[in-house]
């Protein structure tokens, strides 16, 4: 942290770049990049069942191969909020709009948020823990995802 | 404003956080947070008729209860531009893609921009005035919204 | 570049503003703003055929008139990544979700990325080169666009 840089802009830029590179990695399917984005012992949870969770970068890269079932994807990241827990740790919340094209040409879009924990390693910032919380999708998803909480409507 | 910080990054981060927290508040329906995001005497205009406008945080929280008619929402904020009018005032323009899921499961998406005025209060930055200008929606909206201006095509 | 500002935040803000103003220009169709956003000798490539490319700001403004065929548009920009090549040059990558409304009221959405080169001119930062690489669209596009690369699925 540079003197006078209480907003920690260099760290914000580096962590936001991680978030964007994850999206680009999925959209190009260059899954060997997982090791540059996640810690070796990362925990990534997309859904409540074991096959929707990954422990470690190697297992994560393997599980993301499920995205080959789509012709194309486009992961649009926004609403990035970062908070620091000391010089080498941070938490983040961001939104993703994930467009997918099926082999039959039809579109399927997922609306979700990433709840992340980041750590600074000797090689730079990495995602240590990611939980995807889903807001919904335009057609029901074909895999079991974890839902974000929404307060139920009050009794009238 | 810190010496040398002519970009006012701390203020930019704080105001952008307001924009994101508004989206999160709607998506979780924690409407009691309105008072942390808006000034007590805020003016919020979603459309040209009185019931699409709110004066004051209390009235705004009440009017946003109309979002209970949806099962879920996801408000994706982007294109954030901020300009400062002195140390304690700012103006902002941002885009929102607001996905809504109806009780029958169907999706309805709104594309709009927020035209905002912010003030710094003793408790931090707040939205003092918000005007939502709508670009359009995938199916006609069920409430009267204010349209953003688009230049008509020239006569050929 | 100010001493101690190794993140070049003022330049990042200025270049990001260019990206946002391009979106706003299309959505309002104020095409006379092209000259404030692009260099006079810019190169802009939307697709592999000549009519989807423009050399110079004047030709670009003329070619963007094709967007009059839509009733409305909304260009949502995200995933902005910038890298500097010296004090007066930069490269950028960003994602765009471009919603279009046809005259019959139907929606058509394009998912793409912008691959840009920026230069600082005496009048400020400008886009010198833009290549749009398309991820896909919900219905097949009516003009020939350049596709972003995606690695083919491995042979099993």
Q: What is the pLDDT of residue A6?
A: 78
Q: What burial letters (b/e) apply to A22-57, b meaning 16+ CB within 10 Å?
A: bbbbbbebebebbbebbbeebbbbbbeeeebbbebb
Whether B59 and B75 have beta carbons less than 8 Å apart is answered as no
Average pLDDT, chain A: 95
Complex-level ipTM beyond the 0.90 threshold: yes
Query: Across the interface, which of A3, A99, A105 has its CB nearest the CB of C111?
Result: A99
**Token pair 């992340």: residue:** A116
At A84-121, the pLDDT tens digits run 999 999 999 999 999 999 999 999 999 999 999 999 99
Nearest to B114 by CA among B29, B15, B31: B15
Residues of C in contact with A78 (CB under 8 A): 78
Closest residue in chain C to residue B77, using alpha carbons only: C76
> Which residues of A sit within 8 Å Cβ distance of B?
4, 6-7, 9, 12, 76, 78-81, 93, 95, 97, 109, 111-112, 135-136, 138, 140, 148-151, 153
Cβ within 8 Å, pair C136-A71: yes
Q: What is the rounded distance in angstroms from the CA atom of residue A76 to the CA atom of residue A81?
A: 15
Whether C44 and C31 have beta carbons less than 8 Å apart is answered as no
Find the distance separating the first CA and the last CA of chain A, reported in whole Å.
52
Residues of A in contact with B3 (CB under 8 A): 4
Q: What is the rounded distance in angstroms from the CA atom of residue C26 to the CA atom of residue C99?
A: 11
Residues paired with B91 in a beta bridge: B83, B117
Whether C4 and C83 have beta carbons less than 8 Å apart is answered as no
Nearest to A126 by CA among A92, A86, A77, A81: A92
Low pLDDT (below 70) residues in chain B: 1-5, 156
Closest residue in chain A to residue C5, using alpha carbons only: A5
Q: What is the rounded distance in angstroms from the CA atom of residue A15 to the CA atom of residue A113?
A: 16
Query: Across the interface, which of C9, C76, C105 has its CB nearest the CB of B97?
Result: C76
Look up the pTM and report it.
Answer: 0.97
Does the pLDDT at position C1 exceed 70? Answer: no
Cβ within 8 Å, pair B28-A148: yes
Residue of A11, A12, A75, A78 for testing the chain B interface, max B β-carbons within 10 Å = A78
């Amino acid at each position: 942290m540079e003197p006078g840089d209480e907003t920690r802009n260099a760290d914000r830029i580096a962590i936001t770049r991680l978030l964007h590179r994850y999206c680009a990695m999925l959209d190009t399917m260059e899954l060997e990049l997982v090791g540059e984005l996640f810690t070796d012992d990362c925990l990534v949870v997309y859904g409540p069942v074991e096959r929707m969770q990954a422990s470690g970068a190697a297992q994560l890269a393997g599980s993301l191969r499920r995205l080959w079932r789509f012709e194309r994807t486009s992961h649009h990241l926004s609403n990035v909020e970062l908070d620091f827990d000391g010089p080498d740790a941070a938490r983040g919340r961001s939104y993703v709009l994930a467009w997918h094209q099926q082999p039959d040409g039809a579109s399927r879009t997922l609306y979700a948020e990433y709840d992340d924990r980041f750590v600074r390693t000797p090689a730079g910032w990495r995602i240590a823990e990611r939980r995807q919380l889903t807001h919904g999708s335009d057609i029901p998803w074909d895999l079991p995802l974890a839902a974000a909480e929404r307060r139920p409507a009050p009794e009238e």
